[in-house]
Amino acid sequence: MYSAKKTLRRIAAVTAVLTAVMAISSGSGVQAKIEAKVGDKCTKAQYGKTSKVGATRVRCTFKNKKYTWTKVATTTATTIPVKVNKSKWPKKFVIGAVPSENASAMTLKYQGLVRLFQEELGIPVEFYSATDYAGIIEAQIANKVDLAFYGPFSYVIAKLNGAKIEPAGVAVSSATGTPGYRSYGVAKANNAAVKTIADFKGKRICFVDPASTSGNLYPTAGLLAAGVDPAKESTQYAGGHPQSVQAINKGTCDVGFAYDDILDKEVPAGKVSGVGASDIKVVWKSGLIAGSPIAVRLNMEPSLVAAVRDIVLNKANKTAMVKAGRCTTEATCQIIEDSSWGFVKTTDSYYDGVRAVCESTKSTKCK
C-alpha cells in the first residue's frame, strides 16, 4: 500500500508529465530559441522541444531516466542496397502481431500483408499470432519473429528487454494523416454513478493487458492524475480491447478501458459481439498517444532489413496495393486494421513520450 504522501507525489509527477507529453502531441509548446548541444541536460518542461546548433538539430528526449538533448536524425529515402545477398536471408520470414481478437480472425486479417511480403521478398512468409503482448515480445527477442506489430508501450518494453529492433514505420489512417490514437475510459450507459474517470474510484476496473498502451499505461496515468490509485482498487485484465468492453457490458467490471477505434468504429459496426452502440458510454479520453509501430529485427542480413523497410513504407499501403492490383479499391483494402491506410517513417525517439509516462507511473514494466 502506498502512503498518502507518496500517492500525492506520484499523482503530481504523472500530471506534470502528461501535461508536457500531451502538449507536444497536440503540436503546442512553441518557445523561444534554445541554445543547446548534443549531450546537454534538458528539463521535463523542455521535453520534446527542438533547437538548432549550426547545422545540427537537437531534441529534448527522455531515455535511461534522464532528459537529454539528442541529435535529430535526418530523413532520407529508404532504398534497398544494390548488392542484395539473398544467400544470407532466412528460409522463411515471420510476421507477428499483438492480440486484438482470436487467432483465426487475426490470421485472416493479415493475409493480404503476408501475401505482399511473400511476393516481394521471394521467400515463404508466415504469420504468428501471440496469445498476449508478452508472447510477441518474447518471440522477437528470441529471433523467432522478424517483423512485429506493437502498441507503443509493448514496443518500449521489448526494447527495454533487449529486443534488437527499430520501427520500420508507424500506422496512419490516411495518406495525409498523422499517427496517433487515444485511450477511452468507458462504463455502462445506464451507470449514473460514473460520469468522469474520477468516479472509477471504488469500482471494479477492467484493463486490457499489462503491456497495453491504451489499455493499461495511459489509463493508469489518467487514473492517477484524477486522484485514483489503481493499486488500491479492484482491477483485472480482460485480455483484449473488445473483451474489456464486453466485460463491462456483462457486468464483470463496472468500468474499464479500450482504444478509440473499438468504441468509435467497431462497436457501432456491430463487430464487438454482444455490445451495441447504446450499451456503453465514454466518460474519459486520453491525450493523443504515439502511433503504433511495426518493428523490424535488426540482427538480420542488412539487405533484408532494407527490403522490409522499403515494403513497409512504399508498398504496404492502400494506394500502392490498389495500384499494384492487390486490392480492388481502397475502401475494401485491409492492411492491418480497417482504419489503417498504411505506414509512414518514424524513429525510436518518437516513443520517448511513452517512456516518460511509463517512468511517471512507476510501472514495473518500465524497468
CATH of domain 88-179+291-351: 3.40.190.10
- Identify the CA nearest to 101 among candidates 343, 307, 271: 271
What confidence score (pLDDT) does residue 5 get? 47
Tracing cell 464483470 back to the chain, one arrives at: 252
What confidence score (pLDDT) does residue 102 get? 58
pLDDT, one tens digit per residue, over 161-194 is 999 999 999 999 899 988 999 999 999 999 999 9
Amino acid at 127: F
Query: What residues have CB less than 8 Å from 132, skipping those under 6 apart?
Result: 98, 99, 209, 211, 239
Question: Where in the chain do CATH 3.40.190.10 domains reside?
Answer: 88-179+291-351, 183-285
pLDDT in tens, the chain (367 residues): 445 445 445 444 444 444 444 443 433 333 334 557 788 888 765 666 666 666 677 777 776 667 788 876 543 434 444 467 788 999 999 999 876 555 566 677 788 899 999 999 999 999 998 888 899 999 999 999 999 999 999 999 999 999 999 999 999 989 998 899 999 999 999 999 999 999 999 999 999 999 999 999 999 999 999 999 999 999 999 999 999 999 999 999 999 999 999 999 999 999 999 999 999 999 999 999 999 999 999 999 999 999 999 999 999 999 999 999 998 999 889 887 656 899 999 999 999 989 988 888 877 777 6
pLDDT, one tens digit per residue, over 215-257 is 999 999 999 999 999 999 999 999 999 999 999 999 999 999 9
What confidence score (pLDDT) does residue 53 get? 61
- Identify the CA nearest to 150 among candidates 301, 312, 296, 288: 296
Amino acid at 281: K
Phi, psi of 41 (to 5 degrees): -80, 145
- Identify the CA nearest to 213 among candidates 16, 21, 11: 21
CATH level 3 topology of 183-285: D-Maltodextrin-Binding Protein; domain 2 (3.40.190)
Does the pTM exceed 0.75?
no
What confidence score (pLDDT) does residue 322 get? 93
* Strand ordering across the sheet containing 50-53: 50-53, 56-63, 66-71
